[in-house]
Amino acid sequence: SQTIHQWPATLVQPVGSPLSLECTVEGTSNPNLYWYRQAAGRGLQLLFYSVGIGQISSEVPQNLSASRPQDRQFILSSKKLLLSDSGFYLCAWKPPDRANQPQHFGDGTRLSIL
Amino acid sequence: AQSVTQPDIHITVSEGASLELRCNYSYGATPYLFWYVQSPGQGLQLLLKYFSGDTLVQGIKGFEAEFKRSQSSFNLRKPSVHWSDAAEYFCAVGAVNGNKLVFGAGTILRVKS
């Protein structure tokens, strides 16, 4: 069966520091991968998605970037964090080329910027 | 482009009472529809999905949803709510030829004993 892992679960970082959040999927090949942010009291905002290695689509201009160095690895990064980057970050995957399949979510990373 | 509206930000129901969470979507063709649940500090768990066929779909944890094309709705229901159902619920719509989902803003369900 397929599983998705995100780490760390919780992160506290100072303003201006770098960021690296990692997401990996097991048990599937060439998944679509997604990064979402969920700010307090707000819905899910799609940040990036990827349909293959090295391919990244950015949904909103921001201080963050994403990379997909391996088939089942998706990384969210920042060179300098802002206070507004605080939030709950969720990674998700779905089977490729199957629009009618749901996305499956990891347990999320709670990021607090001080 | 598709969009989703969940009109109720908060809903409070008594334990054992029935529940209906509303979801309205906008999309030019038959959409793919999903309901997810999120407990505090957790990821989203899929409750059920609709692609085609029978418009009443059954999901996990005793939930069901009904697709009504004429009303552009996909409301989530449960006949008897349990205290453990307290969570936030998200409706999402996907396009037939797309890779992305559009999520509603969510409805927070509170269950009172």
Tens digits of residue pLDDT in B63-90: 999 999 999 999 999 999 999 999 999 9
Instruction: Tell me the Cα Rg of chain B.
Output: 13
CA A69 from centroid of its chain's CA atoms: 14
Give me the pLDDT at residue A98, please.
Answer: 78
Residue B99: pLDDT over 90: no
Tell me: pLDDT of A76 over 90.
yes
What pLDDT was estimated at residue B92? 95
User: What's the confidence (pLDDT) of residue B51?
Assistant: 87
Average pLDDT, chain B: 94
Query: In terms of CA atoms, which chain B residue is nearest residue A50?
Result: B99
Pick B43's closest partner by Cβ from A49, A102, A106: A106
Residues B33-49 have pLDDT tens digits of: 999 999 988 999 999 99
How is residue B48 written in tokens? 């059920």
Q: Is the pLDDT of residue B30 over 80?
A: no
CA distance B81 to chain A (A): 23
CB contact B108 to A (< 8 Å): no
- Please name the residue of chain A whose CA is at the shortest distance from the CA of residue B35: A102
> Which of A21, A97, A103, A112 to mutate to test binding with chain B, by most B CBs within 10 Å of its CB?
A103
B94 touches chain A (CB under 8 A): yes
> Where does the pLDDT of residue A11 fall: very low under 50, low under 70, confident under 90, or very high at 90 and above?
very high
Residue A18: CB atoms within 10 Å: 10
Mean pLDDT across chain A, nearest whole number?
Answer: 93
Supply angle C-alpha B32, B63, A40, rounded to 5.
75
**Coil, strand or helix at B62:** helix
Give the gap in angstroms from C-alpha A39 to the nearest C-alpha of chain B: 11
What is the rounded average pLDDT of the residues A66-75?
A: 97
The pLDDT score that the predictor gives to residue A21 is 97
> Distances from the Cα of A46 to the Cαs of A35, A57, A68, B79, in angstroms?
6, 10, 16, 33
What's B86's DSSP letter?
A: -
Question: Does A62 or A37 have the greater pLDDT score?
Answer: A37
Residue A43 and residue B49: Cβ atoms within 8 Å?
no
